[in-house]
Amino acid sequence: MKTIALTTALFFGLALAAVAQHASAGMDEHASGSMSPHPSHPAGAPVTYADLKNTLEQLERAKQATAKYQDVHVAEADGYHQLGPDSPGMAIHFVQTLEPKAFDIEKPPILVYEKNPAASGGYSLVGVVYLWNAAAGLDGQPLDPPLPKSLVSWHRHPNLCLAPGLTNPHGLTESQCRDQGGRFLAETPWMVHAWIWKDSPSGVFSDQNSALR
C-alpha cells in the first residue's frame, strides 16, 4: 500500500508540475525586466495521461539505477568528475560526458550533489541531468526529445570550457580554455535537470532547486 501511495503521489506531482510550468510560462510572457540563468521557453504541448504515466515510469527507473551513486566514490569510480563550483540552487555537478552517444534514462551523463558532512564522501545525491543532441524546432525546444515537451523545458549553455579543476567553466574564451589544456564547447547539447533525489519546490524538472543547502 505504501508503494501504491508513493506512486500515486508522484503521478499527481508530475501533473501539478505541468500545470505550474504552463502557468509560469504564461506569466513570463507578460513580465519585463526579469533575469534568468536560462532563456525562457514557451508553454509546452497539452499534457496527456500517457505523458504522465511514461515519464513517471522513466523517473522510477532512473532512481533505481542511480541509487548506487548515493556514495560519490562509486560515481567517481564510474568516471564522473566535478565540473564547476557549488552554486546556489544548482549544487555541484559531476560530469561523465557532455557528448553522449544516445539517451539512456538509467545512465544520466551528469549527477548533481550537495555537500553533506554526514554522507559517505561528504556529498548527497540530489538529482541528475540528461542531455539530448537535436536541432531546435520552431518552439525553441529540441526536435523529438526523449522526455515530453508537455512536462519538460530543455535548455543549452554557450561557451563552456572542459578543463580539470576549473572553478568556473563559463568564465573563459575559447583561446583561454585551450591555453589551460581544456576543451571548448561553443554550445552544449540540450539539457534538463531531474530532481529525483531531493524535491524541488519549482518542480521535478526545474532548472534550479531552492531546497538545496
Average pLDDT per consecutive 10 residues, the chain (213 residues; last block may be shorter): 44 45 40 40 72 97 98 97 86 91 96 94 97 94 94 91 75 86 88 97 96 88
Whether 115 and 94 have beta carbons less than 8 Å apart is answered as: no
Are 162 and 182 contacting, i.e. CB atoms less than 8 angstroms apart? yes
| Secondary structure (3-state) at 10 | helix
* pLDDT confidence of residue 31: 38
pTM: 0.77
pLDDT at residue 97, as a whole number: 92
pLDDT value at residue 35? 32
What residue ranges do the domains of the chain occupy?
A: 2-194
Element (H, E) at 54: helix 49-66
- Separation of first and last alpha carbons in the chain: 32
Query: What is the C-alpha separation between 65 and 169, in angstroms, rounded?
Result: 28
